[in-house]
Each structure stands twice: as structure tokens, then as C-alpha cells.
Amino acid sequence: MDEIIGGESFVTSTPELIRETVHEFLYGHAPLRLPSSGSTSVHSHSHHSSGGSGSSGGSGSGPSDASLDLYPVSSTGRSMAIGAAPNVPFPLEYPSLQTGPAIPQEVHVYTLEDHKRLHHGYVAVWQQNGLGGYYDVEGLDWVNIPLFAHARSQEIGGRTYLIVDDGTHIHDIGWRTGRVIYFVSNTLLEDLTNQQMIAIARSTRPLS
């Protein structure tokens, strides 16, 4: 609800509206149906991203082609990931695919405390559009991160993924490797399609 308080505009809610919104988010949608097969191949295409000259990473391992507006990651982004890798106490995974308009922003290494237990992580960020749309690939040595507490599992192309969606769009797609969880997060407005999210996740592998 929009209200004017003291001459300023505020968005407010009520306990009842919050409960209804949460219930709708958790239970109000039919399960999202996604492909379980990895039969669709990935094709490499020549493309110069605005994030840097050249490209690296070759073909990814998920369903993608130019019609999905996915291309090899820019050399700029990959260089940032290589520079950050020594500061991460576990293998830094990085995608070989990015969306066409994406501009790599940073690869940020961070720590996070959970009940006095220190976790380590990193986040690689891409700007998808000029309206504040950012998506990212993240790794964290906290495998039971609350983000995926109610995620559903699905095997795609031989790897089990944890999927957080609203019944129509994927917002987060993650996978566990040992004691680390890696995941791709969509923009706030879910600008990336489900196929793009899956393809980027499937192309994410340890840096070589």
C-alpha cells in the first residue's frame, strides 16, 4: 500500500497482507516444469561483448545458442575471476557463458558469519541492463544456506540442481560440490529466461 507520511511517500503493509503474500509465494504456484535431459548441445558463436575484447571459455555444457543470446564470457570477466581465485579457500567456479548485453562488474571475495562460524564466499557480478539489473554467480562454503532451504531438486544433464522459482521463472539455481554450494541468481526483475539460467549454471565449472 502506498501512503504519504510527513509529505514523503512510503510503501506499507499489514501483518495479514504479509502472511497472504508469503503464502502465495510459497504455495500459490504450480511446480515449474524444466527439462531433465542434457541432449541439447551448446554452440559457440563469435561475439564481442561490451565487457571486454575477445572471449574465452569456448562451448558451455548446457542448452544454449545464439537464439538464447548467450555467448562465451568476456576476457575481462575471466581475468577478474583468475585474479580473485587465490583469495578463495575452495575452487572458484566461473561460467563459460554470459548473456549478450552483460557487462562484468567485479569478482568480490567476502566472509559471512553464521552463529559465530565464519564462512567464505565470492560473487561474480554482471550488469544486464542500465536499469539496475544485475545477475551473478556465487560460491559459498555454507552448503545449507537459507536461500535454498525450501528449494526443489532436479537433475539436469547429469547434475542435481536446487531451484528457487515463483512457479514461472527461476530466480536462483544452485548445486553442491563437496562442502561448497555454487549458484546463479537472476536479476531482481528476472530478466534472464529459464533457459539462460540453466545454461549459465551448466557452463559454470572450476577455472582451468
Instruction: Say if 196 falls within a structural domain.
Output: yes
Specify if 152 maps to a domain: yes
Can you give the pLDDT at residue 115? 82
- Assess if residue 56 is contained within a domain: yes
Which region holds residue 115: left if phi is over 0, alpha if psi is between -120 and 50, else beta?
left
pLDDT at residue 208, rounded to an integer: 79
Question: Total structural domains in the chain?
Answer: 1
Note whether residue 158 is domain-resident.
yes
Q: Grid coordinates standing for 162?
A: 536446487
**Structure confidence at residue 165 (pLDDT):** 95
d(CA 96, CA 137) in angstroms, rounded, equals 11
* Continuous H helices in 41-120: 75-84
pLDDT of residue 116: 82
Does any domain span residue 20?
no
Instruction: Give me the pLDDT at residue 7, please.
Output: 67
Helices then strands (H, E): number in the chain? 3, 13
For position 31, what pLDDT does the model report? 55
Secondary structure element (H or E) that encloses residue 120, with its range: strand 117-127
Residue ranges for the chain with pLDDT beneath 50: 29, 37-64
Q: Is residue 13 part of a domain?
A: no
Report yes or no on 166 lying in a domain: yes
Range of the domain at 109: 38-206
Does residue 22 sit within a domain?
A: no
The pLDDT value recorded for residue 55 is 41
| Confidence at residue 65, expressed as pLDDT on a 0 to 100 scale | 60
Residues in a beta bridge with 127: 103, 134
